[in-house]
Amino acid sequence: MDNIKIDATERSPEIDFDFAANRFRVKGESYPEDVTAFYGELIEALDEHLRGLKGATVGFEFELVYFNSSTAKVLMGLFDSLDEVAGQGNDVRITWVVEEDDDNMEEMGEEFAEDLENATFELKKIES
């Protein structure tokens, strides 16, 4: 699958999906006008790719400064998919990057991670 790179805008995050390397990154702010229009095809492509993996190492990094509640629903679904792929014999590592003083974003990541059974979750703090 071709890699997907989308630049960040004021209301949507930078997307960097490297399918060959199984490295994925979402970075920035996310409160798009239409969540489905922005994430729909991306998630579809990702799910299709992930379904075909076996014995792979997958790295997914989230570095979000702000996201709205519609985006939260997309993220929850993404965590579920990643956990499912991890349960099918893949090593899935989720990294949640937050600014060191952003308790709220840290909490959000931990809440998403609570239900993970197979994927590993790492919280990474960076300077604000």
Q: Which residues bind other proteins (CB under 8 A)?
A: 10-11, 31, 33, 35, 66, 68-70, 72-73, 76, 80, 101-104, 111, 114, 128
In the bound complex, what is the minimum distance in angstroms from residue 9's beta carbon to other proteins? 10
Q: Which is nearer to other proteins, 46 or 74 (CB)?
A: 74
Task: State the burial class of residue 94 (Cβ atoms within 10 Å of its Cβ: 0-12, 13-18, 19+).
Answer: buried
To the nearest 10°, the Cα dihedral for 57, 48, 35, 123?
-10
Q: Which is nearer to other proteins, 8 or 72 (CB)?
A: 72
Measured distance CA(101)–CA(77) in Å, rounded: 26
Measured distance CA(48)–CA(35) in Å, rounded: 19
In the bound complex, what is the minimum distance in angstroms from residue 71's beta carbon to other proteins? 8
Q: Which is nearer to other proteins, 22 or 81 (CB)?
A: 81
